[in-house]
């Protein structure tokens, strides 16, 4: 962006959102070059709007100025989805974080996209309702970000992912026009399901300014049990046996030994550090039913080689078990300076084979790979442990990531179950989609955004054409032998 | 491919008959056939079991009856993965039969499952009474293969995949569900499936007023033990389902789940019904089969479908008055209506007036002659410009179902 264009843009944006919430200072905008992925890129300007009307006005100005636009809220994304690799304007949703309406009689909530996921359930639980999707980042990630990536979480096994719980959206289209799509409170509406289409489109179609979500009655009781196994394979067999028994658990999670040790060091969840694998199984429902199902699951776990099965005896113990699982990624800091999170999916029956292959990759490459995953739906999160200060390691780890995703694709799975494609997996899209598949997706995108200005450089393969501003902060760190370097922001 | 005249009448849509039929037996053949339609600008109406062929506005043109019933294979079913992949012309009943063998099902319960194809199920977004608990078609489709008429042969493109959790690429499944075949011809569908419930039970509760029945149903929908299906019917609708009513309104509930859950739900429904002044009994075994097929009434019936919020349901039922048979889903926000002969227009108008913001009133079935005056889809929804843009991009020559969808798409 040229200096004159940037100055003009800055002046116009200031008129909409005010000086205080239009950031141009190099020091301030540097904070917006990150999300939770290793890549960074500087925006030209950052705006922090307070309302849908302000968002729409900002989007309209960007359309008139031909400026790229990237929305961000919690910035917990692991795939680089909010890193502004083409510069331009970053729309930060930190001020649009209100619950607009709680309509219990219609089982709906209307919220702004910057609302933190957990804040919604915290607001509704006293009345006996909750918002079901619970990504592990739910204490920091927002409903808007969850909509962008169609976020999942442990409890999606039984209850579905974000798109199953979103009934309507207010969108600022790339032209700046505001439209409400979907039924909202109503069961359905006519026309194409634009709500379902936009959820998971990673900000490449429109900016979400309001979200209608379903509220669900909280189950009277939830019970979590931990089953301890000598190895991952026997734990995997137990998962298949539970699923095959007709029990529908609300969540089935697995962690391997490396993960267990990291978690114990960090959060003391009560996991046995000498176990080869632990399973967390949760059922919910009426107390009688929960009791019966728990007993059945305990028996199945024992039959399939569990050395011990512990049922959380109260809510505190249950929360501790979940704190361990949900804190697994950040716990890796206890055992490695850096880690690279993968998000592959295979059909559940292919899990044992995939885990063997990952183990072989680990042995061959010398990198430790921890496994934390949603075993019930075949969604794996291998964490490749490395040291970014060692030159070359980051690049090698990325290659390992590609290799694992290829294995998932070849097993009939997917390259992302819940984190999204973002920047990270653009090129991997070719593992699962043909030229024709991608062409149709691009056609659809251009109906919304003919100039591809909304979150450019994401989701679609670019065939090696690097976006202008990208650089990996950890790669740079290695190159600089320990000192974080960054480009000077464009001024 | 020429067709005999007698056959053409069987393939009529709103009185229009095609000049050609195509019934490809493979996806590649389908792409070639659709490609030819693109090249020659022929108006195509894709069809499977034709159970919902009466939906939509009267087509502007109709040249080709494009049958998917030659694409009827089950391609994959890995029971332990709870997923399957099928060709779009497979009958839902045939798929369910295979799944049942493994103790599984697709928890979608549309009318005429023996005839309806899975492709049609998606295109028409036909959802049975079980949607309150099990969701709708969109909650069970995890991947599609679609033919797009953008060249010859047609472009074959997939979206989604075969795994239950997947966010790679755009969710184009959503775009085709309920699109009535206006954006592409669905060739294959991947579903996630469900283990059959351990137990189920059916109940009826009789009421004197719709308000009491609906209030009872709404209350049950807000609680934890949500029935799998709930419908409130008036005496006329119930009669059409073969049940003689001791009182003018009934709340029907189907309960599913683990044994203990169903037992508890039964007590809860009975208690709630009695508290609301209802009289509880077990229904005749055939009731749910009849109720399932009720919205798919044979011609010349007019069938309307109104969608609203949960709290909007009583208002709509009030607006209908006594001029129709009514089946309302108080836990979902859908009201289906079969007006008495000659009463369709006033009932549609009253429903549209009573409808709050959001929601819709759609004429699902009506004789072609009545469709024009009834305005089948009602006013175009918000975001209609985008919908028109999607149509223009994915079907640039307008060969698919011209004129049948919302706003003349």
Domains recognised in chain B with CATH numbers: 1-196+379-409 (3.30.465.10), 199-374 (3.40.462.40)
- Give the domain A336-425 fold: Alpha-Beta Plaits (3.30.70)
**How far does the CA of residue A443 sit from the closest CA of chain B (Å)?**
7
CA-nearest residue to B388 within chain A is A447
Determine the pLDDT at residue A283: 94
Task: Tell me if A421 and B169 make a contact (CB, 8 A cut-off).
Answer: yes
Q: Mean pLDDT throughout A401-427?
A: 96
pLDDT tens for each residue of B117-167: 999 999 999 998 888 889 999 999 999 999 999 999 999 999 999 999 999
Contact of B362 with chain A, judged by CB distance below 8 Å, is answered with yes
**H-helix or E-strand containing A254?**
strand A251-256
Does B82 contact A149 at a Cβ distance shorter than 8 Å?
no
Q: What is the pLDDT of residue A479?
A: 45
Residues in A closer than 8 angstroms to B381, CB to CB, are 181, 189-191
The predicted pLDDT at position A488 comes to 35
Which B residues in the span 291-350 are in contact with A, Cβ-Cβ below 8 Å?
307-312, 329, 332-334
Cβ–Cβ gap A434/B158 under 8 Å: yes
Contact A363, A369 (CB under 8 A): no
Give chain A's end-to-end CA distance (angstroms, integer): 9
What tokens appear for B381 in the block?
């929804």
Q: How far apart are the first and last CA of chain B?
A: 27
* Residue A470: pLDDT over 70: no
What is the mean pLDDT of the segment spanning A446-469?
Answer: 88
Whose tokens are 């042995």? That residue is A363
B219 touches chain A (CB under 8 A): no
Closest Cβ–Cβ partner in A285, A292, A417 for B165: A417
- Is residue A491 classed exposed, middle or buried when 0-12, 13-18 and 19+ CB atoms within 10 A define those classes? exposed
- Using alpha carbons only, what angle is made at residue B43 by residues B39 and B47, rounded to the nearest 5 degrees? 115
For residue A160 the two structure tokens come to: 């579905």
Q: To the nearest whole angstrom, how far is the Cα of A239 from the nearest Cα of chain B?
A: 10
- A419 to chain B: nearest residue by CA? B167
Token couple for B56:
């939509």
- Please, what is the average pLDDT of chain B? 94
Task: Find, in chain A, the residue whose alpha carbon is nearest to that of B364.
Answer: A190
Burial (0-12, 13-18, 19+ Cβ within 10 Å), A144: buried
- Nearest Cα residue in chain B from A449: B386
- Token pair listed for B150: 């953008």
**Alpha carbon separation from A386 to A330, A368, A370, A477, B228 (Å, rounded):** 14, 8, 11, 13, 49
Average pLDDT in the A139-145 region?
96
Q: Which two tokens stand for residue A425?
A: 């997996």
Q: What is the token pair recorded at A120?
A: 């919604």
pLDDT at A481: 35
Percent of chain B with pLDDT over 70: 98
Q: Do A173 and B386 touch (CB under 8 A)?
A: yes
- Asked if A221-331 and A336-425 have one fold, the answer is yes
CB atoms within 10 A of CB B395: 22
pLDDT value at position B4? 54
Q: Would you state the pLDDT for residue A329?
A: 87
| pLDDT score for B132 | 83
How far is residue B169's CA from residue A181's CA, in Å, rounded to a whole number?
21
Give the model confidence (pLDDT) of A263-278 as tens digits: 999 988 889 999 999 9
Q: Which residues of A touch B257 (CB under 8 A)?
A: 289
Structure tokens of B139? 């909650």
- The predicted pLDDT at position A471 comes to 64
CATH node for A99-217:
3.30.465.10
Distance CA B130, CA B202 (A): 12
**Gap between the Cα atoms of A274 and A268, Å rounded:** 14
Residue A43: how many other CB atoms lie within 10 Å: 30
pLDDT of residue B298: 86
At residue B58, the pLDDT reads 97
pLDDT in tens, A231-260: 998 998 999 899 888 898 999 999 999 999
In order of A63, B21, B186, B296, the CA distances from B118 in angstroms are 42, 20, 9, 17
User: Which member of B223, B310, B382 has the closest CB to residue A180?
Assistant: B382
Nearest alpha carbon to residue B403 among B351, B368, B355: B368
Which segments in chain B show pLDDT lower than 50?
1-3
Q: pLDDT tens-digit profile of A211-236?
A: 999 999 999 999 999 999 999 989 98
Q: Where are the domains of chain A?
A: 99-217, 221-331, 336-425
Please determine, for the modelled complex, whether the ipTM score is greater than 0.95. yes
pLDDT at res. B285: 74
User: Nearest 5 degrees, angle CA B237-CA B239-CA B241?
Assistant: 75
**What pLDDT sits at residue A477?**
45
What is the tens place of the pLDDT at every residue in A148-198? 999 998 888 889 999 999 999 999 999 999 999 999 999 999 999 999 999
Considering only residues 52 to 111 of chain B, which have any Cβ-Cβ distance to chain A shorter than 8 Å?
Answer: 78, 80-83, 103
Average of per-residue pLDDT across A296-306: 96
Q: Do A439 and B157 touch (CB under 8 A)?
A: yes
Q: What is the pLDDT of residues B286-319, one digit of tens each?
A: 888 899 999 988 888 999 999 999 999 999 999 9
Q: Which residue has the higher pLDDT, A269 or A302?
A: A302
Average of per-residue pLDDT values in chain A = 92
Strand-pairing partners, residue A256, are A277
pLDDT value at residue A490: 30
Joined together, the tokens standing for residue A322 give: 């979940």
- pLDDT given for residue B128 in this prediction: 87
Tell me: pLDDT of A491 over 50.
no
For residues B230 and B133, is the Cβ–Cβ distance under 8 A?
A: no
**Longest CA span, chain A:** 72
Q: Is the pLDDT of residue A357 over 80?
A: yes
- CATH for A221-331 (2.60.40.1730, 2.40.50.140, 3.90.340.10, 3.30.70.3450): 3.30.70.3450
Query: What pLDDT sits at residue B332?
Result: 96
With tokens 């690049």, the residue in question is A395
Contact between chains at B80 and A244 (C-beta distance less than 8 A): yes
């Amino acid at each position: 962006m040229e200096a004159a264009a940037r100055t003009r843009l800055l002046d116009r944006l200031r008129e909409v959102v005010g000086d205080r919430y239009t950031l141009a200072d190099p020091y301030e905008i540097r904070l917006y070059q990150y999300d939770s992925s290793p890549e960074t890129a500087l925006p030209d300007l950052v705006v922090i709007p307070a309302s849908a009307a302000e968002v729409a006005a900002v989007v309209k100005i960007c359309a008139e100025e031909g400026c790229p636009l990237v929305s961000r809220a919690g910035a917990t994304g692991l795939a680089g989805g909010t890193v502004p690799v083409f510069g331009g304007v970053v729309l930060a949703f930190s001020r649009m974080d209100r619950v607009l309406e709680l309509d219990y009689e219609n089982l709906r909530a209307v919220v702004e996209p910057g609302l933190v996921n957990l804040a919604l359930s915290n607001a509704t639980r006293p009345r006996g309702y909750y918002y079901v999707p619970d990504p592990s980042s739910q204490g920091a990630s927002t409903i808007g970000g969850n909509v962008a990536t169609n976020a999942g979480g442990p409890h999606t096994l039984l209850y579905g992912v974000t798109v199953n719980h979103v009934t309507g959206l207010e969108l600022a289209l790339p032209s700046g026009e505001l439209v409400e799509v979907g039924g909202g409170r109503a069961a359905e509406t006519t026309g194409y399901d634009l709500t379902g289409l936009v959820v998971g489109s990673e900000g490449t179609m429109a900016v979400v300014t309001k979200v209608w979500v379903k509220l669900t009655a909280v189950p009277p009781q939830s019970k979590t049990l931990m089953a301890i196994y000598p190895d991952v394979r026997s734990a995997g067999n137990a998962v298949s046996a539970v699923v095959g028994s007709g029990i529908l658990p609300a969540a089935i999670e697995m962690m391997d030994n490396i993960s267990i040790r990291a978690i114990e060091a960090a959060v003391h969840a009560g996991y046995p550090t000498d176990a080869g694998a632990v399973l967390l199984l949760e059922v919910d429902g009426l107390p009688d039913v929960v009791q019966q199902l728990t007993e059945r699951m305990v028996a199945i776990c024992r039959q399939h080689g569990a050395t011990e099965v512990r049922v959380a005896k109260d809510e505190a113990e249950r929360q501790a078990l979940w704190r361990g699982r949900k804190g697994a990624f950040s716990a890796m800091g206890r055992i490695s300076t850096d880690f690279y999170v993968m998000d592959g999916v295979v059909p559940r029956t292919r899990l044992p084979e995939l885990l063997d292959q990952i183990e072989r990759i680990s042995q061959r490459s010398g990198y430790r790979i921890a496994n934390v995953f949603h075993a019930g739906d075949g969604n794996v999160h291998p964490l490749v442990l490395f040291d970014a200060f060692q030159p070359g390691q980051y690049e090698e780890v990325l290659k390992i990531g590609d290799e694992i995703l290829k294995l998932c694709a070849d097993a009939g799975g997917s390259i992302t179950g819940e984190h999204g494609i973002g920047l990270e997996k653009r090129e991997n899209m070719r593992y699962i989609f043909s030229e024709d598949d991608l062409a149709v997706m691009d056609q659809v995108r251009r109906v919304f955004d003919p100039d591809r200005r909304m979150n450019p450089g994401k989701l679609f393969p670019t065939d090696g054409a690097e976006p202008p501003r990208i650089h990996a902060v950890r790669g740079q760190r290695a190159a600089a032998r320990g000192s974080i370097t960054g480009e000077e922001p464009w001024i | 491919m020429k067709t005999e005249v007698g056959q053409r009448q069987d393939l009529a849509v709103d009185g229009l008959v095609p000049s050609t039929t195509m019934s490809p037996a493979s996806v590649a053949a389908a792409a070639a056939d659709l490609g030819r339609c693109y090249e020659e600008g022929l108006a195509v109406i894709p069809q499977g079991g034709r159970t919902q062929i009466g939906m939509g506005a009267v087509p502007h043109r109709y040249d080709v009856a494009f049958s998917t019933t030659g694409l009827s294979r089950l391609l994959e079913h890995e029971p332990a993965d709870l997923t399957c992949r099928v060709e779009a012309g497979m009958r839902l009943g045939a798929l369910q039969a295979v799944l049942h063998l493994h103790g599984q099902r697709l928890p979608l319960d549309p009318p005429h499952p023996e005839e309806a194809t899975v492709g049609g199920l998606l295109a028409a977004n036909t959802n049975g009474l079980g949607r309150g608990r099990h969701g709708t078609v969109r909650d069970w489709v995890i991947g599609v293969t679609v033919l797009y008429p953008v060249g010859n042969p047609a472009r074959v493109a997939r979206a989604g995949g075969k795994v239950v959790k997947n966010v790679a690429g755009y969710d184009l499944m959503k775009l085709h569900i309920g699109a009535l075949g206006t954006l592409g011809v669905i060739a294959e569908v991947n579903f996630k499936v469900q283990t059959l419930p351990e137990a189920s039970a059916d109940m009826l509760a009789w009421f004197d007023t719709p308000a009491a029945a609906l209030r009872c149903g709404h209350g049950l929908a807000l609680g934890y033990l949500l029935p799998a299906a709930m419908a409130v019917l008036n005496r006329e609708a119930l009669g059409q389902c073969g049940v003689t009513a001791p009182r003018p309104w009934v709340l029907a509930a189907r309960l599913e789940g683990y044994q203990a859950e169903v037992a508890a739900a039964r007590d809860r429904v009975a208690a709630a019904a009695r508290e609301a002044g209802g009289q509880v009994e077990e229904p005749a075994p055939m009731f749910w089969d009849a109720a399932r097929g009720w919205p798919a009434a044979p011609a010349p019936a007019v069938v309307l479908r109104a969608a609203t919020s949960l709290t909007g349901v009583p208002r709509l039922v009030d607006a209908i008055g006594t001029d129709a048979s009514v089946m309302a889903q108080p836990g979902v926000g859908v009201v289906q209506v079969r007006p008495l002969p000659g009463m369709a227009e006033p009932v549609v108008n009253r429903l549209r007036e009573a409808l709050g913001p959001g929601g819709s009133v759609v004429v699902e079935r009506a004789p072609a002659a009545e469709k024009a005056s009834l305005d089948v889809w009602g006013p175009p929804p918000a975001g209609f410009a985008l919908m028109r843009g999607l149509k223009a991009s994915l079907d640039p020559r307008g060969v698919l179902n011209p004129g049948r969808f919302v706003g003349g798409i």
